[in-house]
Chain A
Amino acid sequence: MEHYTMNLTLKVWRQKNSQEQGRFETYQVSDISSEMSFLEMIDVLNERLIKEGKDPIAFDHDCREGICGACSMYINGRPNGPWHANTTCQLHMRAYKDGDTIVVEPWRANSFPVIKDLVVDRTSFDRIVQAGGYISVNTGNAVDANAMLIEKDKADAAFAAAACIGCGACVAACKNSSAMLFLSAKVSHLALLPQGEPERKSRVLNMVHQMDKEGFGSCTFTEACEAVCPKEISVTNISRLNKEYMIAGLTEEK
Chain B
Amino acid sequence: MLNSKIPAGQLDLKWTDYKGHCKLVNPANKRKLEVIIVGTGLAGASAAASLGELGYKVKAFCFQDSPRRAHSIAAQGGINAAKNYQNDGDSVFRLFYDTIKGGDYRAREANVHRLAEVSANIIDQCVAQGVPLAREYGGLLSNRSFGGTQVQRTFYAAGQTGQQLLIGAYQALERQVALGNVTMYTRHEMLDIVMVKDEKSGQDKCRGIVVRNLITGELERHFGHAVLLCSGGYGNVFYLSTNAMGSNVTAAWKAHRKGAYFGNPCYTQIHPTCIPVSGDHQSKLTLMSESLRNDGRIWVPKKQGDNRKPGDIPEEERDYYLERRYPAFGNLVPRDVASRAAKERCDAGYGVGSSKQAVYLDYANAIERYGKIECGKLGITNPSKEVIRKHGLDVVKEKYGNLFDMYEKITGENPYEVPMRIYPAVHYTMGGLWVDYELMTSIPGLYALGEANFSDHGANRLGASALMQGLADGYFVIPYTIGNYLADEISTKAISLDHPAFVETEKAVRDRIEKLMSIKGSQSVESFHKRLGKIMWDKCGMARNAQGLQEAIIEIQQLKKEFWSDVRIPGGINEMNPELDKANRVADFIELGELMCKDALNRNESCGGHFREESQTDEGEAKRDDSKFQYVSAWEFKGESDWQLHREELIFDVAKPTQRSYK
Which residues of A sit under 8 angstroms from B123, Cβ to Cβ?
145
CB closest residue in chain B, given A210: B178
Query: Is B380 interfacial (CB 8 A cutoff)?
Result: no
With most chain A CB atoms within 10 A of its CB, the pick from B160, B170, B184, B283 is: B283
CB pair A134–B171 under 8 Å, yes or no, is yes
Which residues of B sit under 8 angstroms from A49, Cβ to Cβ?
570
Q: Which of A161-169, A173-181, A217-225, A234-242 contacts B (4 or more CB under 8 A)?
A: A161-169
User: Among the listed A68, A122, A141, which residue makes an inter-chain contact with B74, where contact means beta carbons less than 8 Å apart?
Assistant: A68
CB pair A162–B411 under 8 Å, yes or no, is no
Contact with B along A91-130 (1 / 0, CB 8 A): 0101000000000000000000001100101110110011
Query: Would you list which residues of chain A between 148 and 168 have a CB under 8 Å from chain B?
Result: 148-152, 155-156, 158-159, 162-163, 165-166
Query: Is A193 interfacial (CB 8 A cutoff)?
Result: yes
Given contact pairs A40-B282, A67-B73, A130-B175, A152 touches B64 in the complex (Cβ within 8 A)? no
CB pair B71–A62 under 8 Å, yes or no, is yes
| Interface SS of chain A | loop
Expressed in whole angstroms, the Cα–Cα distance for A135 and B49 within the complex equals 13
Interface size (B, Cβ < 8 Å)? 83
Query: Is B579 interfacial (CB 8 A cutoff)?
Result: yes
Contact with B along A55-94 (1 / 0, CB 8 A): 1101011111111111000000000000101100010101
Expressed in whole angstroms, the Cα–Cα distance for A133 and B409 within the complex equals 31
CB pair A139–B410 under 8 Å, yes or no, is no
Which residues of A sit under 8 angstroms from B479, Cβ to Cβ?
139
Given contact pairs A53-B570, A126-B184, A195 touches B174 in the complex (Cβ within 8 A)? no
CB pair B129–A134 under 8 Å, yes or no, is yes
Given contact pairs A69-B68, A155-B134, A54 touches B570 in the complex (Cβ within 8 A)? yes
Which residues of B sit under 8 angstroms from A190, Cβ to Cβ?
130
Expressed in whole angstroms, the Cα–Cα distance for A121 and B242 within the complex equals 26
Expressed in whole angstroms, the Cα–Cα distance for A86 and B369 within the complex equals 31
Query: Is B314 interfacial (CB 8 A cutoff)?
Result: no
CB closest residue in chain A, given B175: A134
Query: Is B645 interfacial (CB 8 A cutoff)?
Result: no
Q: How far is the CB of B627 from chain A (nearest CB, A)?
A: 43
Q: How far is the CB of A67 from chain B (nearest CB, A)?
A: 5
Expressed in whole angstroms, the Cα–Cα distance for A44 and B530 within the complex equals 14
Which residues of A sit under 8 angstroms from B67, Cβ to Cβ?
126
How many A-B residue contacts, CB cutoff 8 Å?
224
Q: How far is the CB of A229 from chain B (nearest CB, A)?
A: 14
Query: Is B505 interfacial (CB 8 A cutoff)?
Result: no
Query: Is A6 interfacial (CB 8 A cutoff)?
Result: no
Query: Is B412 interfacial (CB 8 A cutoff)?
Result: yes
CB pair B178–A130 under 8 Å, yes or no, is yes
Which residues of A sit under 8 angstroms from B127, Cβ to Cβ?
142, 145, 148, 195
CB pair A17–B575 under 8 Å, yes or no, is yes
Given contact pairs A54-B570, A119-B576, A123-B186, A162 touches B132 in the complex (Cβ within 8 A)? yes
Q: Which of B4-12, B24-32, B135-143, B653-661 contacts A (4 or more CB under 8 A)?
A: B135-143
Contact with A along B429-472 (1 / 0, CB 8 A): 00000000000000000000000000000000000000000000
CB pair B283–A146 under 8 Å, yes or no, is no
CB pair B171–A193 under 8 Å, yes or no, is no
CB closest residue in chain B, given A192: B132
CB pair A152–B65 under 8 Å, yes or no, is no
Which residues of B sit under 8 angstroms from A196, Cβ to Cβ?
130
Given contact pairs A55-B570, A67-B163, A189 touches B64 in the complex (Cβ within 8 A)? no
Given contact pairs A36-B279, A63-B74, A162 touches B184 in the complex (Cβ within 8 A)? no
Given contact pairs A53-B570, A123-B186, A142-B121, A90 touches B409 in the complex (Cβ within 8 A)? yes
Q: How far is the CB of A1 from chain B (nearest CB, A)?
A: 4
Query: Would you list which residues of chain B between 56 and 85 have a CB under 8 Å from chain A?
Result: 64-69, 71, 73-74, 83, 85
CB pair B49–A139 under 8 Å, yes or no, is yes
CB pair A165–B163 under 8 Å, yes or no, is yes
CB pair A130–B215 under 8 Å, yes or no, is no
CB pair B281–A43 under 8 Å, yes or no, is yes
Expressed in whole angstroms, the Cα–Cα distance for A137 and B406 within the complex equals 34
CB pair A115–B215 under 8 Å, yes or no, is yes
Expressed in whole angstroms, the Cα–Cα distance for A159 and B130 within the complex equals 10
Which residues of B sit under 8 angstroms from A17, Cβ to Cβ?
575-576
Expressed in whole angstroms, the Cα–Cα distance for A54 and B124 within the complex equals 53
CB closest residue in chain A, given B53: A138
CB closest residue in chain A, given B398: A156
Query: Is B549 interfacial (CB 8 A cutoff)?
Result: no
Which residues of A sit under 8 angstroms from B570, Cβ to Cβ?
49-50, 53-56
CB pair A150–B64 under 8 Å, yes or no, is no
CB pair A1–B524 under 8 Å, yes or no, is no
Q: How far is the CB of A209 from chain B (nearest CB, A)?
A: 13
Query: Is B485 interfacial (CB 8 A cutoff)?
Result: no
Query: Is A47 interfacial (CB 8 A cutoff)?
Result: yes
Given contact pairs A58-B578, A143-B124, A146-B85, A63 touches B283 in the complex (Cβ within 8 A)? no
Given contact pairs A62-B244, A139-B53, A122 touches B66 in the complex (Cβ within 8 A)? yes
Query: Is B267 interfacial (CB 8 A cutoff)?
Result: no
Contact with A along B404-432 (1 / 0, CB 8 A): 01100111110000000000000000000
Expressed in whole angstroms, the Cα–Cα distance for A134 and B411 within the complex equals 37
Residue pairs across A and B with Cβ atoms less than 8 A apart, 18 shown, are: A50-B568, A51-B524, A56-B578, A58-B578, A62-B71, A63-B69, A65-B287, A68-B73, A90-B409, A116-B575, A119-B576, A135-B171, A138-B50, A142-B121, A150-B135, A156-B132, A162-B157, A190-B130
Residues of A within 8 A of B (CB): 1, 16-17, 33, 35-37, 39-40, 43-44, 47, 49-51, 53-56, 58, 60-70, 83, 85-86, 90, 92, 94, 115-116, 119, 121-123, 125-126, 129-131, 133-146, 148-152, 155-156, 158-159, 162-163, 165-166, 189-190, 193, 195-196
**8 A-B pairs closest in CB distance:** A149-B139, A134-B171, A142-B128, A142-B124, A159-B132, A145-B127, A130-B178, A1-B412
